[in-house]
Amino acid sequence: MSTPADPATALPGRPPVVDLATWQAARDELLVREKAHTREGDAIAAARRRLPMVEFDGTAEVTGPDGPVPFLDLFQGRDELVVYKHMWWDGAPHQGQCEGCTYAAWHLKDAVYLNARGVSFAILTTGRWDEVAGYVEFMGYTQPWYSVRDVDAPVGGPMGYFACFLRDGHRVFLTYSTTGRGTEPANGSFALLDLTPYGRGEAWQDHPEGWPEGSDACWYWRSDADGTAAWGPASRPVAQWTRPGATPEQTLGRHGHDH
């Protein structure tokens, strides 16, 4: 891609300055790649719909605000269900809970458009319900949460990803699960940041020489009360600073010591 620029108008660490016609030509050239990426994504989604599925016992009990209920109840009468599996630190205070999972769950505070398409949504975690309930109230989450402590996979099992389920009457099936960066589609902030000149600001990003260096994921995981990225005991998952009464504390309460 060619973007000729006038050296006299160049700004250090920023894109080259060009006229509108030159910008449009470069933009149209990139659009060809973007459209190819979109079509490949559609093809992958089509392949995803053709995956086999695994049947399991839908009567497995999970615990929510009304006590133990069968996993089938999470469908809320719908045929499809998406869950996010939220990691949990036993006994840790609110500020010590999983920052990456907070980032994912915060982007899905409202599932109205999933519901409109006939898909239910819930968050599962291995935490004890008496701990989880207070955390859900503090965070202001309105989506249903359930404890799957001591419940076998695919209801329980590893946390930190999305899973999709299908119901056929009283029969329940696992159809898909994400891993690693597969959780990103739900995190709309990433998609928007990818459109900006400096992107996500992470160390792994490919950026032109002389541009601001990225860092680790700390900025969207934890910060101090001033909004500065931090991992210390007075830090919180970023979204928690929006909650009433959130204050700097002195412990993350993880495994009996601070990280």
157-173 pLDDT tens trace: 999 999 999 999 999 99
What span, in angstroms and rounded, lies between the C-alpha atoms of 20 and 27?
10
- Domains of the chain, by residue range, sit at 56-204+212-259
The pTM of the full predicted model, rounded to 2 decimals, is 0.90
Per-residue pLDDT at 256 exceeds 50: no
Per-residue pLDDT at 45 exceeds 80: yes
Of 4, 40, 52, the closest CA to residue 25 belongs to 4
The CATH number of the domain covering residues in 56-204+212-259: 3.40.30.10
Classify the C-alpha dihedral 98-104-107-113 as positive or negative.
negative
Q: Please give the pLDDT value at position 5.
A: 62
99-106 and 129-139 helices, crossing angle to 10° = 60
Q: Please give the pLDDT value at position 209.
A: 87
> By the 8 A CB rule, do 167 and 84 touch?
no
* 206-253: pLDDT as tens digits: 888 888 887 776 788 899 999 988 889 999 999 999 999 999 999 999
Average pLDDT over residues 68-90: 98
Banded model confidence at residue 257, pLDDT cuts 50, 70, 90: very low
